[in-house]
Each structure stands twice: as structure tokens, then as C-alpha cells.
Amino acid sequence: MSVSKVQVGQVWKKAGSDESFLVTRLYSEALTTFAVLRPAGKETAAILRVKVIRKGASQALPGFSMAQDSDEF
């Protein structure tokens, strides 16, 4: 799933699981943007660093989809 822009505060679901992740930070290294994700509701859990993929004018997180677009909502 791609969106126009990955932003802090968005909730993404990991593919193949029901676990939700919150985007807590975005940063750039060289020409690449990374999103820092942490499991929703678990402030002390380990964080994930995921490379933001650009597809034309939209962005995506590989292995994740927007939680608002899932069948549960």
C-alpha cells in the first residue's frame, strides 16, 4: 500500500500479522528516507527502522500497509 506521504503519527500494519506500528520519526541518510516504527501501545518495545520506498509521487513502507485501509476498520 502506498500513500502520498509517510508521516509521523501514522499507524501501519505489518503484513501477515495483526501487529500495528506507529511512525515515530522520519529521517534521511544520504538520498534515502527512513521511518522509525514502534509497536502501537508499547512505548518500551524495540523500534524498527524501515526504508521508505518512493513510487512516483507516492511513498510506501515495504512489508507494511496503512492500518486505516485494513478490513478491520
Q: Is residue 16 part of a domain?
A: yes
pLDDT tens, residue by residue, 20-48: 999 999 999 999 999 999 998 888 888 99
Whether residue 8 has pLDDT greater than 80: yes
pLDDT tens, residue by residue, 48-62: 999 999 988 899 999
Return the exposure string of 2-27: e unless at least 16 CB atoms fall within 10 Å of the residue's CB, then b.
Answer: bbeebeeebebbbeeeeebbbbeeee
Q: Is residue 71 part of a domain?
A: no
pLDDT at 41: 84
Q: Is residue 21 part of a domain?
A: yes
Cα separation values, 16 from 19, 49, 60, 63, Å: 9, 18, 16, 9
Domain containing residue 47: 2-62
Q: Is residue 55 part of a domain?
A: yes
